[in-house]
Amino acid sequence: MKGLFGVVSLLVALVIVGFVAVKQLRAVGHVSVERSGVDAPAAPGETVREQSQRLQDKVRSDVVKALEQGARKDEVDK
């Protein structure tokens, strides 16, 4: 009985480590990920830093657009 619990707990630990490993590999781009919110997939030679910079620029421009839309709406409401 002790051996059975040992094997089951080992399998659970391996599953958890596997999920974490896949998540980390997706974060650095070594495992393909379906990108629904990003405009274009990463270029083949693009580094993680370049991917991050591109994503930050996209978020920054989206926030600026949203703020401008809100300001225009406030002007119309007045």
Q: Write the DSSP assignment of 8-33 as a string of letters.
A: HHHHHHHHHHHHHHHHHHHHHTSS--
Q: What gap in Å lies between CA 51 and CA 36, rounded to an integer?
A: 16
For 39, which DSSP code? S
pLDDT band at 41 (very low <50, low <70, confident <90, very high): low
Residue 52 has pLDDT above 60, yes or no: yes
Which two structure tokens, joined as six digits, stand for 18? Answer: 């596997």
- Amino acid letter at 56? Q
Q: What is the pLDDT of residues 1-30, one digit of tens each?
A: 888 899 999 999 999 999 999 888 887 776
Q: What is the pTM of this model?
A: 0.42
Residue 75 has pLDDT above 80, yes or no: no
